[in-house]
Structure 1
Amino acid sequence: MRAVIRADASIAIGSGHVHRCLSLAVELRRRGAEVLFICRELPGNLGALLAERDFRVFFLPPPGEGEPECRPARDARETAAVLTSLSGGVDWLIVDHYALGGEWESALRDLVTSILVVDDLADRRHDCDVLLDQGFYADAEHRYRELVSPGCRLLLGPRYALLNDGFTRQRQREDEKSGERLFVFFGGSDATNETEKVLQALPLLKNRNVQLDVVIGGGNPFRARIEKLAAADDRVRLHGQVEDMAALMVKSDIALGAGGTTTWERFCLGLPSIVVSVADNQTALSEFLGLDGRIVYLGRAGQVDREMIARAIDSLLEFPWWRRSLSRRGRELVDGQGCRRLGRILFPEEIQVRPVREDDEEKIFAWRNAVENRRFSFSSREIPLAEHQQWFRECLCDDRRVLLIGERDGRPIGVLRYDFRSSAEVVVSVYLVPGCHGRGLGGSLIRAGSGWLREHYPACEQVVAEVLAGNRAGRKVFLEAGFTEYYGVFREVLAHGS
């Protein structure tokens, strides 16, 4: 199993693309995949960090004088040269780059098995198998409708936010907090120097007891000025490259930062945030989150001054109920499991499905009557043996019903039932074998079943699932498996031959 990631970091671009891809790379390696990076040699690149984490990096040549940092046609040729030099093929090409789109992806498609695009702009066409946008938008389902092919699988929303597992661990902590500790981080480069504005706002605060943890990245061009300001104020602790950012953030009461990737990190920890957009691509999302009451949004960097920052800090410190509301509303969006969800999709558990046999009757009787399965069944009563035996015999003889058992390493993990409404549409029901719940197997089982359908029923175009209103776990499983929800009904379009 091999994945190749194409992402860049620079003073101009920032570090968010590479950092979120690094979090994903760690998860994919944990699942047994070899992960390689292709990065352009730019000022502020993170090649040293990737190498420190034991990832092999192929550097593309730097741009010539006066050239843009990325020219797509040239980039495609240079990336193709790297891909063709690799023996053994590439299962997934993962691209996280605003300058690259459908033409670049099409040029490389024959060199890899599948392509994943990580995007949040929805401003260009893509030729990919999976597209991930971790943003939170009212029109999320429609943003890419005209930008990808019908067979492309869309993974949308903050539940797919690519965070390192440190945030998942720290999310569980309940530290005692002073109510006056601030965390300041505006990205690896902070090209608009928002950090200095925050430090200049300190003398304007009504609350003089605040303590600040200020993080500046290695690519920050204003480092010397920030160090001078921090040294003059004993309330400020200055940090360089931080190994465990989550452990530092979780101790704070309020965060000040940009509207990029760290938005989801702050949400995961329930850290109330004062946000400034430092790049055009951050503005729309930050405005929406501000209007939705999930952040305190001050505006674009050019519109924000130290007086605005001081007023925002004083207001949040004065009203604990406001901080609690922001914390709760952030945490409900991001649970820190995005990398694991995506890892299961890219390199799923090896689950095989097979049609049921007559000797499965007794086992299925026990599984159907298990309390954890009846709880979310449309009929929760216990099933009598005679009734089950008749039902099972009818299933084996019914041409419009298919029962499959999913197995991993030769052991059963769950059952899929498909009822055909027509040759083109089928309704799916699923339950797991007792002892297999809570292990992330449901989505993989459903995907394995969809693959079986594509092979054995090529005329079938759509799979439909109905989930009880209170079955939150079932809802998540079908969304994870690639279904789309329409008013409580989940649907998956089967892309044959894709």
Structure 2
Amino acid sequence: MKVLVRADASVEIGMGHRVRCQALIHAFTAFDWHCQFVVDQRYQAFGSPDDCFVETEAQFWQRAEQVDLVILDHYAYSADLIAMLYQHQPNLLVLDDMNDRGDFPAKWLLNPLQQNYSKLVECPLIGSRYALLRPAFQQQDENQSPPEQLLITLGGTDPLALTLPILNALVASGFATECIQVLLGANAKQAEQVIAFCLQNGIAVEQGVSDVTPLMQQAKMAISAAGGTLFELACMGVPTVFAQVADNQTRSLEQHVPLNWCRSVRFDNVSDTLYAQRIGQLVEEVNSLWSDTEWQQTARNTARSLVDGAGAERVAQTIHAYFVSESIL
């Protein structure tokens, strides 16, 4: 069985689409599927040599007709474009977050948030039990010492370059630098400046780490972007103050913040005059929660109850079972 995964990554797009699709690929590979990314030629630098690079939709459609399944994780696809792709490959799994593209057809649709879709979607896979996490998130060390670190991770590219101003504000507020752990993506903006600042201030910093779970296990709290990392931190039980860096993170925060395991401060719609104010608001929130052990314990328990890390396996099992049943018929 063959599957094509249509997802791009760049500084502007971020790495989240590719990361969660890699979790799906791992799950499908366990069922002996052959999996390959399809990537726009413009974003080749963020791809892999094993990817299939295309310049036109027609090239993608031609390849889609030759496989058993297409997985689409791409905000640039409108409902009309999805419908056109569906005509070329009806065995289509669409990954969605915002539910803001109107009605479109798909065999399967995955959204880790509670959303309602039209009858054009044959099999909706909805809710946090379908959150796509890598296998490492199911292998937590239950015997480790209590976490003591504040983890700062603003995504694979840190598109708004928030890490450095947040660090400056934390240090200025008197937050203990020995308790800070910075995690930079391989393509993070201002990475050199951030690393230099950390070295000057005795702050631990890592970049381009392939397995983030050990750092999350050591985190008493986190400051994070609110993309796919939200579900990773929930699975690891890390109370978090999220920095919203993109509009597509709105609905996940609208559903998770009221559960009281996290807080959020919005940056994607902020004018330059309010930018510093929002940085201060985020740091004040962290400082006020850092010593609130009662809230932290409740938040940890709530977060862990939401995501168990087996979402990718559930999706792959559901779709593989469909193909098995079709072959029997």
**TM-score, length-scaled by structure 1:** 0.61
Matches within 5 A, 1:22-37: 22-37=22-37
Counterpart in the other structure of 2:144: 175
Q: How far did residue 202 of structure 1 move? A: 2.4
User: Measured at CA, do residues 341 and 123 of structure 1 come closer, stay the same or move farther in structure 2, by a change above 3 Å?
Assistant: same
Whether contact under 8 Å (1:131, 1:153) holds in the other structure is yes
- Cα 1:97–1:3 change in 2 (3 A) is same
Structure 2 unmatched runs, 5+:
none
Matching residue's letter, 1:37: F
Aligned to 1:412: none
Mapped partners of 2:146, 2:288: distance in 1: 18
Deviations 1:40-79 (A, max 9, x none): 134585313xx4xxxx311123xxxxxxxxxxxxx53231
Q: Distance in 1 between matches of 2:324 and 2:35?
A: 23
Residues 44 and 258 of structure 1, relative CA distance in 2, 3 Å threshold: farther
Which deviates the most, 206-215 or 279-288? 206-215
Q: Specify the alignment match of 2:172 in structure 1.
A: 204
Residue 77 (str. 1) matches residue 63 (str. 2): no
Q: Which has the higher helix share?
A: 2
How do 1:57-456 and structure 2 match up within 5 A? 57-61=51-55, 75-83=56-64, 89-112=66-89, 114-124=91-101, 125-135=103-113, 137=114, 140=115, 142=116, 144-145=117-118, 148-149=119-120, 152-170=122-140, 172-179=141-148, 181-208=149-176, 210-234=178-202, 236-301=203-268, 302=270, 303=275, 305-348=278-321
- Tell me, yes or no, if the aligned pair for 2:178 and 2:204 is still in contact at 8 Å: no
CA contact 2:245–2:266 (8 Å) conserved in 1: no
Count matched residues. Answer: 322
Cα pair 1:184 1:215 within 8 Å, conserved = yes
Q: Residues 249 and 42 of structure 1: is their aligned pair in 2 closer, same or farther, counting only changes over 3 Å?
A: farther
Which runs of 5 or more structure 1 residues have no equivalent in the other structure?
62-74, 353-447, 456-498
Q: Evaluate the alpha carbon distance shift between residue 209 and residue 57 of structure 1 in structure 2; reply closer, same or farther with a 3 A threshold.
A: closer
Q: Secondary structure at the match of 1:347?
A: helix
Work out which structure has the larger RCO, using CA pairs closer than 8 Å and 6 or more positions apart in sequence: 2
Does the 8 A contact of 1:200 with 1:306 survive in 2? no
Quote how far apart the aligned CAs of 1:247 are: 1.8
Q: Percent identity at matched positions?
A: 25
Inter-partner Cα distance in structure 2 for 1:321 and 1:335: 23
Summarize deviations over 1:359-402 as a string: whole Å, max 9, x none.
xxxxxxxxxxxxxxxxxxxxxxxxxxxxxxxxxxxxxxxxxxxx
Deviation at 1:323, TM superposition (A): 0.9
1:21-40 per-position Cα deviation (integer Å, ceiling 9, x unaligned): 01100110111000011011
In structure 2, how many angstroms separate the alpha carbons of the residues matched to 1:279 and 1:290? 16
Separation of aligned partners in 1, 2:44 and 2:220: 30
* Aligned-residue RMSD, C-alpha: 2.4
Check 1:326–1:44 CA distance in 2 against 1; reply closer, same or farther (3 A cut): farther
The correspondence of residues 9-48 of structure 1 with structure 2, limited to 5 A, is: 9-42=9-42, 45-48=45-48
CA shift digits 1:292-345 (9 cap, x unpaired) = 312111233535533223212222221111111111111111000001100101
Amino acid at match of 1:58: C
Decide which structure has the larger Cα Rg and report it: 1
CA distance in 1, matches of 2:40, 2:83: 20
Counterpart residue type for residue 131 of structure 2: A
* Rounded Cα–Cα distance in structure 2 between residues aligned with 1:42 and 1:246: 31
For residues 429-487 of structure 1, give each alpha carbon's deviation from its aligned partner in whole angstroms, at most 9, with x where no partner exists: xxxxxxxxxxxxxxxxxxx9xx99xx8xxxxxxxxxxxxxxxxxxxxxxxxxxxxxxxx
